Chain A
Amino acid sequence: MTDIRARLQQVFREVFDDPELEFRDDLDANSVEGWDSLGHIHLIVATERAFGIRLTTSEIARLKQNGETAGTLVRLIERRASAGAAKG
């Protein structure tokens, strides 16, 4: 498991109060208990905090849409990491 996924697993466990949760890219609102609209806010807040990033309104909205999965979140974080590396 990549470092990003390992840290996201921590975030998911914390936010959804499930110490056994296994992170997979295909997790979505249907497969994770508590991932409702309020849970979504908490997920965004905890993710931003854990990775020191700030998501845009459209990204926050997109992650909530049907068919979107945790994999989308991984890619958003990766994109920021590489943008940061390019700048740095």
Chain B
Amino acid sequence: MTASFKPGARVEQEPAEPLGSRSIEAYLESDAPSRASRFPEFQAELRAIRDGGGCGAASEFARRAITPKLDLTSLRSLLKFRAPDRSQDRALRLAVLGGPTTAPLVPCMQAFLWAERMEAEIYEGAYGLFRQELLTAGSGLDRFGPELIFLATDRRDLANPPVDAGPRQMEEFARAEVAGWTGLWERARERWNATVIQNTFADTGYPVFGHLAHRIASSPEAYSAVVNRMLYEAAGPHVVFHDLRLLVHEAGARQWFDPRFYVEAKLPCAPECMVPYGYSVASLVRALRGRSKKVLTLDLDNTLWGGVIGDAGVDGIEMGEGSGLGESFLALQRYAKALYDRGVVLAVCSKNDASQARAPFEKRPDMALRLDQISCFLANWEDKPTNLRRIAEALGLGLDSFVFVDDNPAERALVRRTLPEVAVPDLPEDPAEYVPTIASYRYFETVSFTQEDAMRSQYYKHNAALRSLAAGARDLNGFLDSLEMVARVEPVTSANRLRVTQLLNKTNQFNLTTRRYTETEIQRIAESRDWSTCTISLRDRLGDHGLISILLFEEKDGELEIDTWLMSCRVLQRGVEDFALGEAVRIARERGCRALVGRYLPTARNEMVREHYGRLGFECTGQTDGATTWRMDLAGRESSFPSFRIRKEEPL
């Protein structure tokens, strides 16, 4: 499992120019276990850089050093180097309301949001006063005006039913409890239009009924189980659950709960557990902001199977039932397959001969992963950063949505150094620990799941195939024609609203204004007389891409303003933009508007559409701080647009 196992371990390319001193880069490149002993030295260097006037550089190094594997003390130390980052999107207004004491939790959340470049202004509610904060007009929370509220409650915030309660009394008790919580959620939505992250209730105690607890309806354990289930059923789209039970389960109750700090300071868990707790909540915020990872890139030799395929051959690699090691590799394959079924895109990045690398997939029936589940398969002798860039290009996805899994520490170091935006988990030496380790990073958290997610990997696979076709095709238009693209155009409806909301909140690159809306807001927009909505779904002879573009328009003074225009990057460069413009013009004409008005609002991630309106023939009419306004007069234009390479499907 070590570097010396494979020929590809040699790092031949000279790495990119390191920004900091050697020891800082060496620290950032290494895995967490070996970092711990070097932390004091690293910290001293950061101080020297900061005190020498390099606040920004020190902040950036500290940010990159943040991982959920740090201890609480070191994490706090790194957070002290944080300098405000003005290049980022507008800060999220996040409120954290306990239940129990939240003081050590908030800096942990802040650190992990910072690590992900998600600027957040955090309001911390007073201890135990979450109801008052939410329900009192003019409270600190009310003055803050949150967009997102984390209800950091725990089991002690639930009442306990009397142990002799009968079934009817129990039901009333639970119903009243649930009404109390849903009332708080409603309040958050009505007053600030805020999304709520609600902790589930994890049992803190040791059940007096022991193994019998869940058969006794009035036991505290049975009661919290019922309340959790009812809350899940009652929650609308503006409520997201943070499953605290999962964290307790992963850590083990004896480790998670530390009664000393509960009795002394009302901490909900051991102080050290605040690190995974904060990370876990931050990973949900990441998902809400559409920044979860999308691609799992896997190495082959000693990652997906044991041994080197080039040496051992198809039958010599260790993989499959029958040996502990073989089952460990199989476990990772099954985990990857399960992620694939959930919509995570799989890619292979391996230093190998291409045909040898494919052989186990083709010749070993006991492989859990199949070639057609891998959207992009790259096996050659070039360095991994170069190949990762190629995979990103082929898939049309940003490197910051990539997770790179490789057993070789030298490869991990090179990727961390060259492509710091790629997430590189510290893979342990023992393959049996691969899955729990990768899972512990919560890379692929999501706040909803639709049929389209399940099919996403296939879209990307088609896409990668198309790009290689296009590269070979001399005539792009001929190529596009050969795709036989068909678009279905629909307004926002109750049937596609969830998918629309999801796409609105996760599309970062091809997104002109990056305005985020909740499902409720989208419903209002769809029903408003001043607004028009347009969604485009695309299919071609290779597959169905589903809903890939959204346009929202608001009529203002006889002109139609394009409030939102976004498109999934997987259908870039296919003429969808021109097709969408045709639809925009049609809608504007139907409303009797004399012009279309578009805006570009720059973010850290939407550079690719800076010139979008210019390319489509709009005239630039204004510019402030990088934001631009564009106008297309419809009066002088021809009544119809040239025929597109995309056929519009007529509604039935």
A, B: real partners: yes
Closest to A10 in B: B40
Which among B68-76, B164-172, B369-377, B596-604 touches the partner chain?
B68-76
Tell me whether A15 and B271 are in contact (CB under 8 A): no
* A15 CA to B260 CA, complexed, in Å: 20
Tell me whether A49 and B104 are in contact (CB under 8 A): no
Tell me whether B72 and A45 are in contact (CB under 8 A): yes
Closest to A57 in B: B260
Known: A10-B40, A19-B47, A38-B104. A46 touches B264 (CB 8 A): no
CB distance from B350 to the nearest CB of A (A): 39
Tell me whether B260 and A56 are in contact (CB under 8 A): yes
Tell me whether A42 and B76 are in contact (CB under 8 A): yes
Tell me whether A41 and B261 are in contact (CB under 8 A): yes
- Chain A residues 38 to 58 lying within 8 A of chain B, measured CB to CB, are 38, 41-42, 44-46, 49, 55-57
Closest to A19 in B: B47
Q: B268-288: contact bitstring with A at CB < 8 Å (1 yes, 0 no)?
A: 000110000000000000000
Q: A1-35: contact bitstring with B at CB < 8 Å (1 yes, 0 no)?
A: 00000000010001101010000000000000000
B191 at the interface (CB under 8 A from A): no
Closest to B274 in A: A45
Tell me whether A14 and B271 are in contact (CB under 8 A): no
Across-interface contacts of A44 in B (CB, < 8 A): 271
Our pick among B80, B104, B264 for the contact of A17 (Cβ within 8 Å) is B80
Tell me whether B72 and A42 are in contact (CB under 8 A): yes
Tell me whether B260 and A17 are in contact (CB under 8 A): no
Tell me whether B260 and A41 are in contact (CB under 8 A): no
A61 at the interface (CB under 8 A from B): yes
B356 at the interface (CB under 8 A from A): no
Our pick among B73, B261, B265 for the contact of A15 (Cβ within 8 Å) is B73
Q: Is the interface of B mostly helix, strand, loop or mixed?
A: helix
CB distance from B62 to the nearest CB of A (A): 13
* A57 CA to B267 CA, complexed, in Å: 13
A37 at the interface (CB under 8 A from B): yes
Total interface residues in chain B, CB < 8 Å: 21
Tell me whether A38 and B103 are in contact (CB under 8 A): yes
A76 at the interface (CB under 8 A from B): no
* A56 CA to B260 CA, complexed, in Å: 7
Chain A interface residue number, banded: 10 to 19
Our pick among B44, B74, B264 for the contact of A57 (Cβ within 8 Å) is B264
* A49 CA to B76 CA, complexed, in Å: 15
Which of A42, A45, A46 has the most B CB atoms < 10 Å from its CB? A45
Tell me whether A37 and B265 are in contact (CB under 8 A): yes
Across-interface contacts of A49 in B (CB, < 8 A): 71, 73, 272
A81 at the interface (CB under 8 A from B): no
* A15 CA to B300 CA, complexed, in Å: 43
A60 at the interface (CB under 8 A from B): yes
* A65 CA to B60 CA, complexed, in Å: 39
Across-interface contacts of B264 in A (CB, < 8 A): 41, 57, 60-61
10 closest Cβ pairs, A-B complex: A46-B73, A45-B271, A57-B260, A38-B103, A17-B80, A14-B73, A60-B264, A41-B265, A41-B271, A45-B72
* A interface with B by C-beta (< 8 Å): 10, 14-15, 17, 19, 37-38, 41-42, 44-46, 49, 55-57, 60-61
* B interface with A by C-beta (< 8 Å): 40, 44, 47, 71-74, 76-77, 80, 103-104, 259-261, 263-265, 267, 271-272
24 contacts between A and B (CB under 8 A): A14-B77, A15-B73, A15-B76, A17-B77, A17-B80, A19-B44, A38-B103, A38-B104, A41-B264, A41-B265, A41-B267, A41-B271, A42-B72, A42-B73, A42-B76, A42-B104, A42-B271, A45-B272, A49-B71, A49-B73, A49-B272, A56-B260, A57-B263, A60-B260
